[in-house]
Amino acid sequence: MWRFTAFEALLGPEDYNPDVTLPVHSSGAGRNAVARNARRSSRSRPAALKGRRGCERRAEGAMWGRLCGSGRILLLAGAARHCGRPHSRTQKLFSTSSVLSATEDEPTAPADSTTKVASKEGAAETPKQKLLKMIGDMKVEVTTKRKFQQLKEQEIKKQATNKQEGLHGGSSTFQNSAEDVQRSKPLNPELVQAASAVASSFPHNKEQAESELLAQLRRHEETTDKQRRGGTINICNVISEMTVKRQSPAQRGVRISNRISLEMDEDGQRIKPGRPSSHSDSGRSLKAGKRLNIFTKASPETENALKTVSSPTIWDLEFAKEIAAVTEQPPRNGFEEMIQWTKEGILWEFPIDNEAGMDDGAEFHEHIFLEKHLKDFPKQGPIRHFMELVICGLSKNPYLSVKQKIEHIEWFRNYFEEKKEFLQEI
C-alpha cells in the first residue's frame, strides 16, 4: 500500500507510523506542516495513499493552507489550478514574470508578506516605470551543487522540527494554521512590489489582478522549491540505473569491414563502396533496361508507325476475341474474378466515378443556362412564363442529359406552334 516516493527516498526508511509520517511526507514545501496536520486530522484520511495522489493532496493542502488567510481568492486559485482554464491576461503577464522570478534571489528573512500585499508604495512614480525599474534591478542567481546540498540539509532540519511539532500540536485549530501560513515561506518583497505595480497598471479589477498574481507567484515558488529538492535525487537515480553499452570486437570488425571493400573488379581495380548504392537499390542497374518514355517525348516516327496500323478489320477483331476466349482460364482467386467482372461491367470501377456512363461531354453551364433555347418563344405572356418555369426545373435536374433537356424544350415549341391558331382565337 505504501509506495516510495522521491521524498521518502530523501528521508530514508523510518518507523512507519501513519498518523505521524503522513504530515512529514506531505510537507514537500515544508511550510505549512502544522497547518496540514490540523487539516489532515480533521478530515477523514483514506488508508491507501498513492505517491501520485499524495503530491496532489500536498499541493492542494498547501494551497488551502496559504489561501485561507485571504479568503476571497480561494475559488480563484482553485479554478486557476486546472490546466484547461483559458489564458487570462493575468496569466499571460505571469508567464513572463514567472520567468523573471525564477532568477530571483532566494527569500531569506521571513518577512510579513501578507501585510505588504495591501500596501501600495510610491505614488510619485507611475506604476509602469516602477515595474520596469524593478525588473531591471532583478539579478540572476546561479545555483551550484553546494547550494543544493545546503538546501537539502535545511529541508531535513525543517522536517525534523516539523515532525516534533506535529506530535505536539496535532489538534491545532484553524487560527494557528492561519498564523503559520503568514509566518512560513514568505514571498520576496520585491516580487510583491512588482506584482502590485503590474496590477495597478490594469484598467479595472486591480485588487483581483493583484491577488491572482500573488497566488501565481506563490504557486511558482512552491514548484521551484519542489524541483530543487527533488531534482538532484532524481538525476542520481536515473544515472545509476543507466549502464554502458559494450560493443563486441566482432561487431566492430564488421562495421569496419563494411567500409573497406576488398572486392576486385574485372580490370583488377577495387570496387568503391560508393557504387553499390546505385546498383543495389533497383536490383538491376538504373541505366540498363528498356526506356519507358514517360518523361521524354516520343519521337514522331513512332507515332506515324502507330497510325498506319489503324482501323483493324472486323475479322481481325473477331479473331482477337476468339483467341482471348480460348486462352482464358477460370479465375484463380477472388481478385481475378473481380477483374473479370469489372471488364464485363458487372462490377463498378473503384474509386467510384459518380458520372460513369453519363459523360455527355457537356459542361455545367450547358445544363443550367437554358435560356438561349427560348429564342423562338414569344417574350411576353403566359407561354413565356410557363417556359421559364420549365427551364428552371430542367436546370435543377441532374438526371437528364443536355440532349434530353433540349428535346423537352423542342417538343414544347412544336406543341405551341401547332396550337397557335387556337391560342389566337382565345
CB of 404 to other proteins, least distance (A): 8
Does residue 423 bind other proteins (CB under 8 A)? yes
Q: Binding to other proteins by residue 408, rule CB under 8 A?
A: yes
Site for other proteins in 311-330 (CB under 8 A): 319, 322-323, 325-326
Using alpha carbons, select from 66, 3, 56, 64 the residue that is nearest to residue 26: 56
419 binds other proteins (CB under 8 A): yes
Which residues lie across from 115 on neighbouring strands? none
Instruction: Judge whether 200 and 130 are in contact, CB under 8 Å.
Output: no
Q: Which stretch binds other proteins (CB under 8 A): 130-138, 173-181, 266-274, 410-418?
A: 410-418
- Residue 405: closest CA among 395, 414, 413: 395
- Number of residues counted as binding other proteins (CB under 8 A): 20
Choice between 364 and 415, CB closer to other proteins: 415
Residue 332 identity: R
Query: Which of helix, strand or coil describes residue 242?
Result: coil
**Which residue's CB is nearer to other proteins, number 279 or number 420?**
420
User: Please, which residue, 6 or 390, has the CB nearer to other proteins?
Assistant: 390
Peptide bond into 351 cis (omega under 30): yes
The partner residues of 264 in beta bridges, in order of sequence, read 270
382 binds other proteins (CB under 8 A): yes
Of 198, 169, 6, 14, the C-alpha closest to 94 is 198
- From the CB of 219, what's the least distance to other proteins, in Å? 58
Cβ 370 to other proteins shortest distance, Å: 15
Q: Residue 383, interface with other proteins (CB under 8 A)?
A: yes
Residue of 76, 390, 402, 406 interacting with other proteins (CB under 8 A): 390
Using the contact rule CB under 8 A, the part of the chain among 61-69, 231-239, 300-308, 404-412 near other proteins is 404-412
**Cα separation, 417 vs 410, whole angstroms:** 11
For other proteins, which is the closer residue by CB, 275 or 385?
Answer: 385
CB count, 10 Å around CB of 168? 9
What is the distance between the terminal CA atoms of the chain, rounded to a whole angstrom?
A: 103
Taking CB under 8 A as the binding criterion, the range among 73-81, 83-91, 143-151, 418-426 that sits at the site for other proteins is 418-426
C-alpha cell at 174: 484553524
385 part of the interface to other proteins, by CB under 8 A = yes
Distance CA 74, CA 67 (A): 6
Q: What minimum distance in Å lies between the beta carbon of 326 and other proteins?
A: 5
d(CA 371, CA 388): 8
Q: Which residues bind other proteins (CB under 8 A)?
A: 319, 322-323, 325-326, 382-383, 385-386, 389-390, 407-408, 411-412, 415, 419, 422-423, 426
